[in-house]
Amino acid sequence: MNNYFISIFNHNWEQVYIKAFVGHLNGWGQIRQGGLSNYPQIKDWWNNNLQNLVAPNIDKFVHPFYIGAGNPDSEIIFIGKEMAADKSNANLMLYEQINNYIQWERIVSDYKQNPNQFSTGNINNYIKNFENKYDYCPLNPLTSSIIKQALPKRGNHYWNVLQNILIKYYALKGIKLEIQNFRRFPLYTESLFRYCFTTELNSTPAKHNGTLSIDRRSELLCNIDFLNFINRFKVIWFNCWVYLKKNFNQICDKYANYKEMIKQIFNADSVYACDKYEIYKSDNKVVIVSNNLSGAGRGIIGKSDILNIIDRIKE
């Protein structure tokens, strides 16, 4: 696990989250002290308060310092506009979004103690044990029983698009990915999440949300450790162009606009632009800024657009 990712946790973002609950919402912040070491108590509190407190106020519980899912050591990161989760499913929100930071916090701690757990031969077993303890593992969401129950209702065209992009990208490198379709809920070593990392701009998950809800998330998005982590990827794909153009000053006020950020942080220059996407390149990376890869609305990136982008990556 790379040091850029590990460095994100030098700043205890969970404590920032917890402080927002001091003195209200029935002690939610207090019950989270200790992270996943308190998971049984966290789960019991959530279930006991689900109907009367949590469900009617789910937006208040959303974690602004959501990190993401997948392999932090992979070559490609996809940065979307928001997690396409159904906020009416409060239990799914707990496992997939609200506990995400403390899940990664524990994974990083486990890695520091015994990196061998994360070798190709051992990682599937590590994820299985993690899920048995905590119900969900962000290294590979697909093997979680929570996702297995939710996916048939959710559909998730987005993961299908990512899977196709990854297959085409690695084909450029002469590598045929041996990954199973995400709807078969494959183990990590056969999953799309082994080959990418995904995160979001928005604080609040919502399907087809038309507005930016950034709140305290900008503190993470502008944090140099988080930006350095993003910068380590060979391909950085922002599939949230409208948000970047209209709301960049809310996302990160350290730069005048997203183009300046790409130049200053990623040292990449524009090499191509059209009405659906822009491509920037440096000596060792490609930055793509595009419309959404899935969802509703005009200008969605289609199959032909993806093929054109992949072709330009290899130029």
Three-state DSSP string of the chain: CCHHHHHHCCCCHHHHHHHCCCCCHHHHHHHCCCHHHHHHHHHHHHHHHHHHHHHHHHHHHCCCCCCCEECCCCCEEEEECCCCCCCCCHHHHHHHHHCHHHHHHHHHHHHHHCHHHHCCCCHHHHHHHHHHHHCCCCCCHHHCHHHHHHHHHHCCHHHHHHHHHHHHHHHHCCCCCCCCCHHHCCCHHHCHHHCEEEEECCCCCCCCCCCCCCCCHHHHHCCHHHHHHHHCCCEEEEECHHHHHHHHHHHCCCCCCHHHHHHHHHCCEEEEECCCEEEEECCCCEEEEECCCCCCCCCCCCHHHHHHHHHHHHC
Question: What percent of the chain stands above pLDDT 90?
Answer: 62
Span 214-243, pLDDT tens digits: 668 888 988 999 999 999 999 999 998 888
Please check the confidence at residue 96 and state whether its pLDDT lies above 70. Answer: yes
Question: 107-111, 286-290, 292-296: which has the minimum mean pLDDT?
Answer: 292-296
Choice among 44-48, 82-86, 106-110 with the minimum mean pLDDT? 82-86
Taking Cα atoms as reference points, which of 237, 136, 123, 117 lies closest to residue 191? Answer: 123
Q: What type of residue is 184? A: R
Average pLDDT over residues 181-207: 86
- Tens of pLDDT, residue by residue over 128-178, are 999 999 999 999 998 888 887 776 655 557 888 999 999 999 998 899 998
Contact 206, 258 (CB under 8 A): no
Structure tokens at 178: 């041996």
Tokens 């599937």 map to which residue?
124
Sign of CA dihedral 261, 266, 271, 272: negative
Kindly report the average pLDDT of the chain as a whole number.
Answer: 89
Q: Which pair of structure tokens corresponds to residue 305?
A: 């657009």
Q: Is the separation of the CB atoms in 94 and 24 below 8 Å?
A: no
239 with 247: CB under 8 angstroms? no
Residue pair 67/6 in contact by the 8 Å Cβ criterion: no
Largest CA distance in the chain: 57
Poorest-pLDDT segment among 29-38, 69-78, 86-95: 86-95
Q: Could you state, in order of their start, the residue ranges of all structural domains in the chain?
A: 3-314
Give the predicted TM-score (pTM) of the model.
0.93
